[in-house]
Amino acid sequence: MTLRRTGAYGTSGLVLALCIVFAWQNAAAAQNCDTAAAPGVDWQDCDKKLLILKGQDLSGANLIGVDFTSTDLRNSNLLAANFEKATLVRASLADSTAKGARFDKIEAYRTDFSHMDAQGAVFTGAEVQRSNFQDANLTNVDFTKAELGRAQFHDADISGSRFSFANLARADFRGATFTAPIDFDRAFLFLTRIEGLDLSNSAGLSQWQLNMACGDARTELPSGLTRPEDWPCSEP
């Protein structure tokens, strides 16, 4: 009987200790979420939706898994911030600086990235359908395996960017500029707008991709590829 009681007490003590540890962790997490915006802040997995955070300095911040749904992050310093797996649905990062930031696997439908300086940023596996990258600096950005259906790239600088295996269905690159080759290796270009683009130095393009894209007589192609007799798009 004594041995049984001792075992029961030991088990109860272990459960109590675990509860204390979990409570401490939750309290620490809540305290981190209440921390004001600052360089290097740790907001991992915090709820930051529907907030006005315009003009904040979040450089180097840990923003993994944060819910920024419909949050205003315009004109913010996001240099080297880590947004991996964050939710940015209908958020605005317009006019922000996000050089070297990580946006891996974010959920960002209809998000405003316009006029953002995101040189060297990473969007691998990101869900950014219908998002706006108009006039953004996307030099050397990695969009590998990103979902970019109906994304807008008007007047964006996409020099040296990688779109390997990306879904670019109905994305619009009209007016985009680039001075270094871009990589479209096995990207899905169904009705992708490439009118007027000089793609002669781009990498990874195949004839099957061009046949389903939307170009025109001004579209320049890499050596060995030809314009389809009829591009599938004619409407504006």
Q: Give the per-residue pLDDT at 236.
A: 58
CB atoms within 10 A of CB 199: 21
Which residue type does 214 have?
A: C
Work out the average pLDDT over 13-39: 62
Q: What is the pLDDT of residues 202-236, one digit of tens each?
A: 999 999 999 999 999 999 999 999 999 888 886 65
pLDDT tens for residues 173-213?
Answer: 999 999 999 999 999 999 999 999 999 999 999 999 999 99
Lowest mean pLDDT among 82-86, 111-115, 231-235: 231-235
Determine the Cα angle at 222 with ends 218 and 225, to 5°.
90
56-86 burial by CB neighbour count: b if 16+ within 10 A, else e? bbbbbbbbbbbbbbbbbbbbbbbbbbbbbbb
In three-state secondary structure terms, 112 is strand
Residue 229: predicted pLDDT: 86
Look at residues 116, 79, 83 and name the one whose alpha carbon lies nearest to residue 99. Answer: 79
- Predicted pLDDT of residue 21: 42
Burial of 150 (0-12, 13-18, 19+ CB in 10 A): middle
Amino acid at 58: L
Q: Per-residue confidence at 31, pLDDT binned at 50, 70, 90?
A: low
* pLDDT of residue 127 exceeding 60: yes
3-state secondary structure string across 144-190: CCCECCCCECCCCECCCCECCCCECCCCECCCCECCCCCECCCCECC
b/e map of 17-34 (b: 16 or more CB within 10 Å)? eeeeeeeeeeeeeeeebe
Q: Are the beta carbons of 40 and 60 closer than 8 angstroms?
A: yes
> What was the pLDDT predicted at 10?
53
Which pLDDT score is estimated for 25? 46
pLDDT at 171 over 60: yes
208: exposed, middle or buried (Cβ count in 10 Å: 0-12, 13-18, 19+): exposed
Q: Is the pLDDT of residue 8 over 90?
A: no
206 in Cβ contact with 227 (< 8 Å)? no
pLDDT tens column, 130-154: 999 999 999 999 999 999 999 999 9
